[in-house]
Amino acid sequence: MKISAIINGNEDYNGDFIKLYSYTGKEIAELMHIDENVLKWMLKPDLKTTNLYRHFSVKKVIDIFKTASKLFQKGKIKMGGEVIDQNEYATLVSLSTGMPFSVIINSIDQLSDLMENIEDALRPQIPNGDIEALERGYYYIQNKTIAWVPRANNLFVMTPSNHPNVNNLWLLAVALGYPVVLRPSDDDPFTPYRLIQCLIEAGFPKCNFTFIPSQHSGIDTLIDSTDLSMLFGDSKIKEKYIENSIKVFGPGRSAVIVDEEYYHKHKNKVINTILTSMCESSGRGCINASTVFFIGNGAELSELLAKSISEVGLFDPLNREATIGAIKSHVIAESYNNYVEKMIQNGYIDITEKYRDFSRMTTLNGVTYILPTILYQTESNMRNKNDIGAELPFPFVTFIDNCNGEYFEVPFESLSLSLLSNDNDLLNRFLFSCSNKKLFKGLPTNHMDFSNPHEEYLSRFLYMEKAFVIDQTAIENPTT
């Protein structure tokens, strides 16, 4: 299979290809890589494309997304010269990323659900929920008109590979009227490519989509060649790209906060909520928990969690029962494992070790895995608070015990917080805090609802408001 570039909707094979390998080391596809020196002339903005697309009716956009939903979930779609179905696509992504096959199948259902119900996802993005404002260009408030229009002509998105669901953000951008330029990751070019083909087949103009695989060094060129950009990355990426025209998502550093009273009243719920937050989607999402804070004495809970996750079976990612993902590179896996070892040297305790049948980093049938891990420490004994919230691409949390509820604050910015407590003062503290982007009471950190804001509503970045006033007297009395 050869995955080419897509330039204004047309496949372009004029370039060099790199080989893509599975977690077993077997070649599974080839992906075009466009040299950064030729990117600029390939990305001349096409305002006719923008204007054509934005004159679609809202109903037409919704109908196209509904059709694309069915194609993505059940259709046979041409990809790289081959026609592949849902299972073949899921197999490709699992092989290329190491994520369990079941995670990819679940993601297909979730992305299909988003497209099927795109109207529900769009309404919260729009002032007053007035979806006709997308077509009209303004909304009403107290009988006044306020213009609400796109602030740019196109959008560049660097799509990551940690989870297929992250593609929901550029899908929303398309629904909001933006032609997109996508630079896929080398580990998962398949998901954005397949989604583009489904949207085109469903009725969007081909010229609405550009798909440009490139080296990482080409990202700045892509940013400079487009109006707005969305990137995903860690705090270093966020610090590098702070311009008004760039939106950086990440890091997640999601956390669960539990108090002792709630734990003793709802023990099973607490355990299940933390395990879901930590382990679902193989622990790779930015909304997976990377820290648990326990207010009071949580030693018992930490041990119960460690025992539970150590009982998870180890299967090949393509096995339908697999929940733990493979790490494609043994060298990279060693770097993750070494990071954990340094934390242990700094005083953290690996409380999962005594329950495991394998070492933390293990190789089975030639495939490398890092098993779910919980590192334990009390708040008063932490030597380096910078270690808290560390995100690694497998189920991994630091369990911080004996936190003081009266003065407790999460010591970092967090994408998603799960609060397992009935303390209203604690709830209000985090509700009004600007250091978290999502707050779930009694639900896991990875609770999914595409109509909820994800680091604010995307429309806040893509749209602008401006004064729009019509002289009604001139309309009513055209000759005066």
Average pLDDT over residues 384-392: 78
Report the distance separating Cα 283 and Cα 447, nearest Å: 13
CATH of segment(s) 254-441: 3.40.309.10
Total-model pTM: 0.91
Average pLDDT over residues 336-359: 93
Q: Render pLDDT for 21-48 as a digit per residue (tens, 0 to 9).
A: 999 999 999 999 887 777 776 666 555 5
pLDDT tier at 434 (50, 70, 90 boundaries)? confident
Is it the case that residue 477 has pLDDT exceeding 70?
A: no
Average pLDDT over residues 102-106: 96
Is it the case that residue 252 has pLDDT exceeding 90?
A: no
pLDDT tier at 182 (50, 70, 90 boundaries)? very high
CATH class of this structure's domain 2-250: alpha beta
Q: Render pLDDT for 111-132 as a digit per residue (tens, 0 to 9).
A: 999 999 999 999 999 998 999 9
89-93, 202-206, 326-330, 381-385: segment of lowest average pLDDT: 381-385
Question: How many percent of the chain have pLDDT more than 70?
Answer: 91
Q: Render pLDDT for 354-373 as a digit per residue (tens, 0 to 9).
A: 998 889 999 999 999 999 99
Name the more confident of 122 and 207: 122
Q: Is the dihedral of CA 118, 241, 192, 174 positive or negative?
A: positive
Average pLDDT over residues 372-385: 82
Q: How far is CA 395 from CA 72, 144, 228, 279, in A?
A: 29, 51, 34, 5
Sequence spans of domains, the chain: 2-250, 254-441
Identity of residue 21: Y
Is it the case that residue 384 has pLDDT exceeding 80?
A: no
